[in-house]
Amino acid sequence: MGSPTFKTKEVHNESATKDNINILGACLVKTKLDSHQHEKQLHFVISKIPNLNLLGRNGIRQLGISVDGLVNQCQPQEIKQIKSDGNLRAACERLTLEFPDFLKKKLGCLKDFELDIRFKKDAQLIFCKARPVRFAIQEDLAQAYDARIARGLLEPVQFNSYGTPVVPIEKALLPGQTKRKL
């Protein structure tokens, strides 16, 4: 990289979790990839966090880098295998022992909680007709309705004066699954 001119900047940067990223400054760096014929000047942001220097979207576009392949390579079981630091793991284990009902796979209820929902006075009730559902997923959608009714999430009614259609979204297949879930 040579010795690019380093400029300190008062710029606010946030991570995906909305945490502040402390920035030392930025520099322009001449860059060339094997697939490119000419050099490009890219803007790099240098952070105080070791090994976290940032290349923005413009730089990624200029270099023709596709992150789609990287995102698709990460499978859920690989994420589970990532080892966290011991203190975090111990704290999580303490929480699961202290609150065993918190991570159950069934829905819970809020107890001793009153909710007051206020609607606009001029709100009009509307009814939208149902959208057509592909024949291939009609049975799966019916099973999904039945499962939600059995869990108490939905309550069947004969008629209603207002409503909006369901938009079924098929979830991607996870490794080992043979059938998509709605």
Does residue 82 register a pLDDT over 50?
no
In this predicted structure, the answer to whether residue 98 has a pLDDT above a threshold of 60 is yes
Question: Does 60 reside within a domain?
Answer: yes
- pLDDT the model gives residue 72: 52
Looking at the domain assignment, is residue 95 inside a domain?
no
Backbone phi, psi, residue 43, to 5°: -90, 115
User: What is the DSSP track for 6-30?
Assistant: EE------B-TTS-B--EEEEEEEE
178: in domain: no
Strands 6-7 and 23-31: antiparallel
Q: What is the pTM of this model?
A: 0.39
- The answer to the question of residue 111 being in a domain is no
In this structure, the number of other CB atoms found within 10 A of the CB of residue 63 comes to: 16
Residue 112 lies in a domain: no
Q: Beta-carbon neighbour count of residue 26 at 10 Å?
A: 20
Q: What is the model's pLDDT at position 40? A: 77
Between 2-6, 27-31, 100-104, 112-116, the lowest mean confidence (pLDDT) is in 2-6
Beta-carbon-side half-sphere exposure of residue 10 (alpha carbons within 13 Å): 0
Distance, CA of 138 to CA of 131 (rounded, Å): 12
pLDDT band at 11 (very low <50, low <70, confident <90, very high): low
* Count of structural domains, the chain: 1
Show the tokens assigned to 128: 């939208």
Asked whether residue 118 is assigned to any structural domain, the reply reads no
Tell me the C-alpha distance between 56 and 58, whole Å.
5
pLDDT in tens, 126-181: 888 888 888 888 998 999 899 989 988 889 888 888 888 888 888 888 778 877 77
**Interval 35-77: pLDDT, tens:** 656 677 787 788 877 777 777 777 777 777 766 655 555 444 4
Which structural domain, as residue segments, surrounds residue 43? 6-68
- Position 146 scores a pLDDT of 93
Residue 130 lies in a domain: no
Q: Is the pLDDT of residue 93 over 50?
A: yes
Q: Is 39 inside any structural domain?
A: yes
